[in-house]
Amino acid sequence: MAFAVSPLIRGPAAPAPTMARLAVVTGANKGVGFYIARQLQEAGLRVVIACRSSSQDLGSDASIEAFASTMETKYQQLDVLVNNAAIAFKAADPTPFKDQTVPTLAINFFATMRLTDRLLPLLRGSAAAGREPRVVNVASMAGKLRQLSPALQSEFASPMLDRPRLVALVQSFVAAVQSGKHREQGWGNSNYGMSKLAVIAYTKMLAREEGSAMRINAICPGYCRTDMSSNRGGQSPEVGARTATTAALLSAQGPTGAFFEHERESSW
């Protein structure tokens, strides 16, 4: 997944940080991400879409740094971050399962975590200014805990989970897949599902770290008719986007560290 900065609405090149709340939506050039951006815009937010390009990659530390630096110098603020960008191998893709594992986790989990961590200073600045920042991580029903053994479920759901342990667990999954022993070790059989489970675990961990300063939640948009689903989903991306928009516009009394489906809080 590659991305670049561009304003959803044409306007001043460097708006002052005292203007309306500013949102970033990754993977927003089409599909669910596009409609999330549109709905936030309709709610009165300024929106920066982070989208694909041939020269920049979400999996690249240099690209993430360039994006964050642009946000710091051009906009000087960030009030809502929606991490929607992700990849999924098609069912008919001939790439062996074990060769899909690293690229799927690299984009869907590791890059999402790196980008969010890099943008945290701007989000914390928003909190200090009383603008009630929000982080929304687009996950999936495929990321539910039930794909794991009870022991692994306890590990990922532990209130003591921190970054080193989370990364170690994800790397353990990668190693188990490469050895062909992931099922017998209690792991699921979906690289995409594992990437989204890790995103949900990261969401809950980050919410614990940031406390009441911001609302940080994960969502499932549902099975939508997009390129990712080969247009086989049961609902439009516009409908799927509503759950992310709901989480992005939560009141100060709304939940944090939660998982949303169908525009309401759900179980993990």
Assigned domain for 186 exists: no
Place of tokens 């002052």: 16
CA dihedral of residues 77, 82, 83, 84 (deg, nearest 10) = -140
Structural domains of the chain, count: 1
Q: Is the pLDDT of residue 156 over 90?
A: yes
Q: What is the pLDDT of residues 40-71, one digit of tens each?
A: 999 999 999 987 554 447 778 899 999 999 99
What pLDDT, on a 0 to 100 scale, did the predictor assign at position 4? 40
Q: What is the pLDDT of residues 225-258, one digit of tens each?
A: 555 555 666 677 878 899 999 999 999 999 999 9
Phi/psi of residue 68, nearest 5 degrees: -65, -40
What pLDDT, on a 0 to 100 scale, did the predictor assign at position 234? 67
The answer to whether 6 and 51 have CB atoms below 8 angstroms apart is yes
Q: Please, what is the average pLDDT of the chain?
A: 89
Q: What CATH number does the domain containing 249 carry?
A: 3.40.50.720
Q: The tokens of 155 are what?
A: 């590990």
What pLDDT, on a 0 to 100 scale, did the predictor assign at position 53? 55
What pLDDT, on a 0 to 100 scale, did the predictor assign at position 65? 95
What pLDDT, on a 0 to 100 scale, did the predictor assign at position 5? 43
What pLDDT, on a 0 to 100 scale, did the predictor assign at position 58? 72
C-alpha span between 33 and 8 (Å, rounded)? 12
Assigned domain for 149 exists: no
Assigned domain for 119 exists: yes
C-alpha span between 12 and 193 (Å, rounded)? 40
**pLDDT grade for 12, boundaries at 50, 70 and 90:** very low
The answer to whether 268 and 157 have CB atoms below 8 angstroms apart is yes
What pLDDT, on a 0 to 100 scale, did the predictor assign at position 90? 87
β 259-261/46-51 pair status: unpaired
What pLDDT, on a 0 to 100 scale, did the predictor assign at position 50? 87
Look up 192 and say whether it is catalytic: yes
Decide which of 91 and 1 is more confident.
91
**pLDDT grade for 11, boundaries at 50, 70 and 90:** very low
% of the chain residues with pLDDT over 90: 76
Distance of CA 44 to the CA centre of its chain: 22
Q: The tokens of 203 are what?
A: 């969401």
Compute how many other C-beta atoms are within 10 angstroms of the C-beta atom of residue 45: 20
C-alpha span between 179 and 174 (Å, rounded)? 9
Assigned domain for 12 exists: yes
Assigned domain for 167 exists: no
**What strands lie across the sheet with 134-138, from one edge to the other?**
4-7, 46-51, 22-26, 80-83, 134-138, 215-220, 259-261, 264-266
Residue 219 bridge partners (DSSP) = 138, 260
Can you tell me the mean pLDDT for 19-40? 91
Report the predicted TM-score, pTM, of the whole model to 2 decimal places.
0.90
Assigned domain for 153 exists: no
Assigned domain for 184 exists: no
Assigned domain for 150 exists: no
What pLDDT, on a 0 to 100 scale, did the predictor assign at position 86? 92
Active-site entry in 35, 75, 192, 202: 192
Q: What is the pLDDT of residues 89-138, one digit of tens each?
A: 988 899 999 999 999 999 999 999 999 999 999 999 999 999 999 999 99
**Residue span of the structural domain in which 36 resides:** 4-141+202-266
What pLDDT, on a 0 to 100 scale, did the predictor assign at position 227? 55
